[in-house]
Amino acid sequence: MSNVLVFIEQRDGKIRKSSLEALTLGNSLSKKTSGALGAVIAGSGISGLAPELAAYGASRVFVADKPDLALFSSEGYTAALDAAATAFNPSIVLASATAMGRDVAPRFAARRGVSVLSDVMSLDVANGRITGERPVYSGKARVAVTAAESAAIQVATPRPNVFPASKADAPGAGEVVNLDLGTLTIRAKVVKIQAAEAGEIDVAEADKIVTGGRGIKGPESWPVLRALCTELGAALGASRAAVDAGWIGHEHQVGQTGKVVSPSLYIACGVSGAIQHLAGMGSSKVIVAINKDPEAPIFKVATYGIVGDLFQILPAMTEAAKKLKA
């Protein structure tokens, strides 16, 4: 019997979907280890979130609720995870591989003297040991990783948007345990969050991505891509060529020096498909390539391809998507 503890991330009092994915994964692991599923959440004025976590199977919800924790601090939120782990004694700890999870999980792991199975795209447990697979060399290869016997506590960060989030067949008890963290020493602290443009979906969390490359010719073409994004509920991506040309910010970049993504649908528009780009999106479930050059390497990884003028095809796709919804 070994317990599974999942770090839950909230923003503005709303639990992030990636955390519910991690909790769903934690629930399935805890069944295999015959252990209990716990969740830990930090913030201010957030104790009302426990029932939602119970619905995903959490039998205990550890809550660190204090004004100091209203905005993220690696030290404060790690203290919450550490206190919950001391109380719950898990053998497996999960946090989604988001900016926050990638901050808290390694700090916690180093405090406990262990390493992290980072950014895993699959995760299972056998004989009490977790094993997973993760991309390396920015997606050019994948490696099977395992937590060794020597690791008393096993920490993993599942990649967002890869594991499903679904409510448990049998809800957990959701017993709330308030954590007393005492006086916190916080030397690095978020003082403000500036949201991106309203309605903008981040490529790292997106289920669908529409990406523009050099072939879109300039920043004046983004509205053509954005219109399709809006119809499909997709995030807007960009190739390195488009970012380096100054057409859009780096947060949109997909590829080896941008974000490594694995959405269910990736539509590459005017992207030639440099090795660095293919590394970053090659694990997408379905890839669509739209390019006027039939020899472009992007067609080698694409599921579907249209050789043609993206300035005619994209508006036609936007129209077709509207009809499909109607």
Partner 1 sequence: MNHIVCFAYVPDTETKIKVAADGVSIDEADVKWIVSPYDEYALEEALKTKEATGGTVTALTFGPARADTGLRECLARGADEAVRIASDGLGQVDSLGVARLLAGVIKTLPHDVVWMGNKGVGTDAQVLVPMLAELLDLPHVNLVTKLEWKDGAIVAHREIEGAEEIVEMSLPGVIGATKGLNEPRYASLKGIMAAKKKVIAVKTPADAGVEPATIAGPAAHVRWTKLELPPARQAVKLIPGDDPAKAATELLNLLKNEAKVL
Footprint of partner 1 on residues 300-319 (CB under 8 A)?
A: 300-309, 312-313, 315-317, 319
Site residues for partner 1, 164-183, by CB under 8 A, read: none
Angstrom distance (rounded) from CA 96 to CA 160: 6
How many residues appear in the chain? 326
- Residue closer to partner 1 (CB basis): 59 or 221: 221
Piece in contact with partner 1 (CB under 8 A), picked from 48-56, 85-93, 144-152, 172-180: 144-152
CB 5 within 8 A of CB 97: no
Residues sharing a CB contact under 8 Å with residue 220, sequence separation 6 or more, in sequence order: none
Strands 116-120 vs 175-178: parallel, antiparallel or unpaired: unpaired
C-beta of 154: minimal distance to partner 1 in Å?
8
Is 201 a residue that touches partner 1 (CB under 8 A)?
yes
CB 159 within 8 A of CB 119: yes
Residues sharing a CB contact under 8 Å with residue 296, sequence separation 6 or more, in sequence order: 271, 272, 273, 289
Contacts with partner 1: how many residues (CB under 8 A)? 107
Looking at beta carbons, which pairs linking 283-288 to residues 24 or more positions away fall under 8 Å? 283/121, 283/135, 283/139, 284/209
Piece in contact with partner 1 (CB under 8 A), picked from 27-35, 42-50, 54-62, 135-143: 135-143
Is 213 a residue that touches partner 1 (CB under 8 A)?
no
Q: Of 53, 83, 103, 247, which one interacts with partner 1 (CB under 8 A)?
A: 103
- Residue closer to partner 1 (CB basis): 3 or 74: 74
C-beta of 244: minimal distance to partner 1 in Å?
10
Is 204 a residue that touches partner 1 (CB under 8 A)?
yes
Angstrom distance (rounded) from CA 124 to CA 126: 7
Site string for partner 1, 4-23 (x = CB under 8 A): -------x----x-------
Site residues for partner 1, 276-295, by CB under 8 A, read: 276, 282-283, 285-290
- Residue closer to partner 1 (CB basis): 173 or 275: 275
Site residues for partner 1, 250-269, by CB under 8 A, read: 250-251, 253, 256-258, 260, 264-265
Q: Of 202, 219, 226, 230, which one interacts with partner 1 (CB under 8 A)?
A: 202
Is 126 a residue that touches partner 1 (CB under 8 A)?
no
Residue (of 41, 16, 34) closest to 174 by Cα position: 41
Helix (H, G, I), strand (E, B) or coil at 283: coil
C-beta of 176: minimal distance to partner 1 in Å?
27
Query: Can you say whether residue 119 is alpha, beta or left, with left for phi > 0 and alpha for psi between -120 and 50 degrees?
Result: left
Residue (of 228, 229, 256) closest to 241 by Cα position: 256
Tokens 């697979």 identify what position?
133
- Residue closer to partner 1 (CB basis): 32 or 111: 111
Piece in contact with partner 1 (CB under 8 A), picked from 50-58, 113-121, 172-180, 213-221: 113-121
